Structure 1
Amino acid sequence: MKTVAAFFVFVFLTIVAVQGQPRFGRQRCLCRGAGVKMVQPMFIEKVVIHPVSPSCGHLEVVVTLKNRRGQRCLNPESLFTKHIIEKIAKKSAQSNM
């Protein structure tokens, strides 16, 4: 009888301990590090901006390169990236009018 009671106490304490832990211990960002400062504009096929979110604590700008050259993360603090973000914002503002 004591072992059954001890088992239930152990299960109860385990459930309480698991519920109190955060689900994501680490952030799940796409980019590691600051990213590159510039990419040749003629090689850019697509630009995706990932805003700050609960899963990643900073802005991420990911460009897909033409001819299957892969993806690159751009440094959001670089002038090149800020210029691209401004162009995208202007383009979306014009299309919303």
Structure 2
Amino acid sequence: MKTVAIVSFLCLLAAEVQGQNRYPKGRCFCADKGVDMVLQKVIEKIEIIPPSPLCGNQEIIVTLKSAKRKCLNAESNFTQNLIKRALHRMP
């Protein structure tokens, strides 16, 4: 009976360890800083994702006309100017 209790405890312990979060920093869409520049004529949509509990970084993701998505470097001058122009166009 003691063996059954120990095996049961070890199974519960293994299930708890397996269920722990592998990504303590959160899950960001962008794996790295991103590109500094993209041709404006190929940009279809701009997404600005603010920092959140899951990802501490502000992320700027552009969808290109070819349906590809690229992450932009949020600190680059190009990205900052792109955001300013996009905000001015909003109604």
Shorter-chain TM-score bucket reads 0.7 to 0.9
Structure 1 counterpart of 2:70, from 56, 61, 72? 72
Following the alignment from structure 1 to structure 2, what is the Cα–Cα distance between the partners of residues 61 and 69? 16
> What is the count of residue pairs matched by the alignment?
91
Question: Post-superposition shift, 1:86?
Answer: 1.0
Q: Who is 1:39 aligned against?
A: 38
Following the alignment from structure 2 to structure 1, what is the Cα–Cα distance between the partners of residues 60 and 25? 20
Question: Post-superposition shift, 1:80?
Answer: 0.6
Q: Who is 1:30 aligned against?
A: 29
Residue pairs, 1:1-97, within 5 angstroms: 25-66=24-65, 68-92=66-90, 95=91
Aligned-residue identity in percent: 43
Runs of 5+ consecutive residues of structure 2 not aligned to the other structure: none
Q: What TM-score comes out, normalization by structure 2 length?
A: 0.73
Question: Post-superposition shift, 1:72?
Answer: 0.6
Give me the CA root mean square deviation: 2.8
Q: What TM-score comes out, normalization by structure 1 length?
A: 0.69
Runs of 5+ consecutive residues of structure 1 not aligned to the other structure: none
Provide the secondary structure at the position in 1 that maps to 2:61: strand
Question: Post-superposition shift, 1:22?
Answer: 6.3
Larger CA Rg, structure 1 vs 2: 1
Deviation track 1:23-68 (CA, whole Å, cap 9, x = no partner) reads 95242000011100000000000000000001111100000111x2
Superposition misfits of 4+ residues, deviation over 6 angstroms: 1-11
Shift in CA distance, 78/8, structure 1 to aligned 2, threshold 3 Å: same
Following the alignment from structure 1 to structure 2, what is the Cα–Cα distance between the partners of residues 84 and 2? 67
Question: Post-superposition shift, 1:2?
Answer: 6.6
